[in-house]
Structure 1
Amino acid sequence: MTTILVVDDDSHIRKLIRLYLENSHYNVLEAGDGEEALTILEKYSPDLAIVDVMMPKMDGYELTEDIRSFLDIPILMVTAKGESQDKVKGFRAGTDDYVVKPFDPVELILRVEALLKRYRIGTENVIKLGAITIDKDQLTVRAEDKMVSLKKKECELLSVLASSPGKIFTRNQLIEKIWGYDYEGDERTVDVHIKRLREQLEIFEEMTITTVRGLGYRLEAIHG
C-alpha cells in the first residue's frame, strides 16, 4: 500500500487530509512539525509527503530542502499563502506541486495521484512505446535493428513526451521538468533540443514529435 506522510501543525487539517487519503486507500503517517517529520522519515520510507509551509521549529521550505537532500519522493506543499513569490520559493526548495488553503480535499487527492503517477514514470529507466524502447540509462532509442544515441537532455525531453503520447506539453512545462524551475535561460532552448531530436529520430517511422502552434509539442505514436 502507498504510504503518505502528512506534515502540518494543525491537527484538524491533518485529520481531514488523513480521512480523504485513507478513503482513497492510502496508508497515512502524521507529523506535527518538520523535526518530527524528519524523525519519521529516518524510520520509514513514505512514497509521498504533504508539507505545510507555516510550522514551528522548521518551516515547510526548510523541511522540503532537507527531504530533497536524502530522498527522491514527490512533495506537495500546502499553505495559506497564495502569492507567486511564495510559490517560487517552494519550487526552488524542491516541491513538486502546490495547493493553497482552503483547499478542496478532492483536488488534493487528484494532485496526489498525479504526482505519484509522474514519479513512477520518472523513475522508470526504460520506456516502451510500441516497437520502440527508450533507455534513459543508456541514452538510446531502439526499434528492431535501428538504434540512435542521444545526449542526456535530449533523452530526458523525449522521455517526458513519451510518458504521455498525444499530450501537449508547453515549453514552460518542459523547461520545469527538465531544466528546473529556477532555469533562467530562453524558451528557445526547448526548440533547439526538439530540432535535434527530430533529426535523430528521423529513422523511426513509429513516432513523430508534432508542433502544436501557440501551445507546445506532443509525441505521436504512429501505428502501421
Structure 2
Amino acid sequence: MNQIKGIRILAVDDEPNILQFLELGLINEGFEVQTAPDGMTAINLAKSFKPHVAILDVMMPGMDGFEACKLLKKTENVAVIMLTARDEVDDRVKGLLLGADDYMAKPFSFEELLARIHARVRNQFPLLSGQAVFGPISIDDRRKEISLSGRVLELSPTEYELLKYMVINHGIVLSKALILDKVWGYDFGGDENIVEVYIRSLREKLGDKEHQLIRTLRGAGYRIDLP
C-alpha cells in the first residue's frame, strides 16, 4: 500500500494492550502517532498534535468515544474511526450521527484498519501527497499550480487558495463568511464582498461564462460542480 508521509494519527483506548498494539503497528507503517487512555486526554492532546485521523474506542471511563468524537469534530479537521467491542447497529448509527467517518468492531484486522485509514486520508486530506485530481481540475500544492483540462491557470496566491479550497469541497455550498474564514483568515477585517470580486476573476480565468462550474446560490453562497 502506498504510504503518504506526515500523516498524524491519534489512537484512543483505555486498554493498554490495544493502545500499545496500535502505536507500534502504526509507527512501523510510518505514521506519526500519539496515544491517549481516555477521551478528555485525547481532546487536550488534539489541540497541539492536530491529528489527521483519530481512532476512538467507544467504551471508555469518563468521557466515552461518542462524546470525544462530537468534541473533536467541533474543534478539529480530523477523520474519526470508531472502535467498539460490540458490533451493534445502534452504536454504529449513533457514532455516524455524531460525525464519525468510519466504524470497526473489535477484534479487527490491522490490515483492514490500515486500508480504512488510507481511505479516510485520501477522502479528507487529498493534498497530503502534494497532488490531487478532481475531474478536469488538478492541483499541485508543491508547485502551487492548478490546471484545468491540462492548462495551467495564471492565479494570484489568494486566487490559488480560494480555488483550491472550493475544489476540495466541491459539491458543498460554501458561504461568504466560511470562505473568508478559511481563505483570508478569521481576523480578516475587510468587506465580505471581496469574495464576489475573486469569484468573478476565477470565473474569467476558468472560462466559466455561464457559471456552470462555480455556481451562485442566492442567500447561501457558492458551490463548485465538477463533471
Query: Which runs of 5 or more residues in structure 1 are unaligned?
Result: 163-218, 220-224
The verdict on how the C-alpha distance between 1:143 and 1:92 changes in structure 2, with shifts beyond 3 A counting, is same
* Deviations 1:106-145 (CA, angstroms, capped at 9, x unpaired): 0001101111111113999x95156358942649777753
- Name the residue aligned to 1:115: 120
Paired with 2:91 and 2:99, the residues of 1 have a C-alpha distance of 13
TM-score, structure 1 normalization: 0.61
- Name the residue aligned to 1:131: 148
1:131–1:143 Cα contact (<8 Å) kept: no
After superposing on structure 2, the runs of 4+ consecutive aligned residues of structure 1 that deviate more than 2 Å are: 121-124, 129-135, 137-147, 151-156
- Name the residue aligned to 2:196: none
Paired with 2:95 and 2:204, the residues of 1 have a C-alpha distance of 38
1:64–1:93 Cα contact (<8 Å) kept: yes
2:52–2:77 Cα contact (<8 Å) kept: no
Query: Which runs of 5 or more residues in structure 2 are unaligned?
Result: 1-5, 139-146, 154-161, 167-178, 180-198
Paired with 1:88 and 1:94, the residues of 2 have a C-alpha distance of 10
The verdict on how the C-alpha distance between 1:113 and 1:142 changes in structure 2, with shifts beyond 3 A counting, is farther
1:20–1:109 Cα contact (<8 Å) kept: no
Matched, 1:46 2:114: no
Matches within 5 A, 1:21-32: 21-32=26-37
How far off is 1:16 after superposition? 1.4
RMSD over aligned Cα atoms = 3.2
How far off is 1:151 after superposition? 4.4
The verdict on how the C-alpha distance between 1:131 and 1:3 changes in structure 2, with shifts beyond 3 A counting, is closer
The verdict on how the C-alpha distance between 1:10 and 1:154 changes in structure 2, with shifts beyond 3 A counting, is same
TM-score, structure 2 normalization: 0.60
User: Which of 25, 33, 36 lines up with 2:38 in the alignment?
Assistant: 33
The verdict on how the C-alpha distance between 1:141 and 1:95 changes in structure 2, with shifts beyond 3 A counting, is farther
Matched, 1:145 2:184: no
Instruction: In structure 2, give the amino acid aligned to 1:106.
Output: E
User: Which of 41, 51, 55 lines up with 2:60 in the alignment?
Assistant: 55
- Name the residue aligned to 2:80: 75
Equivalent residue pairs, number: 159
Identity among equivalent pairs (%) = 29
Secondary structure of the 1:150 match is: strand
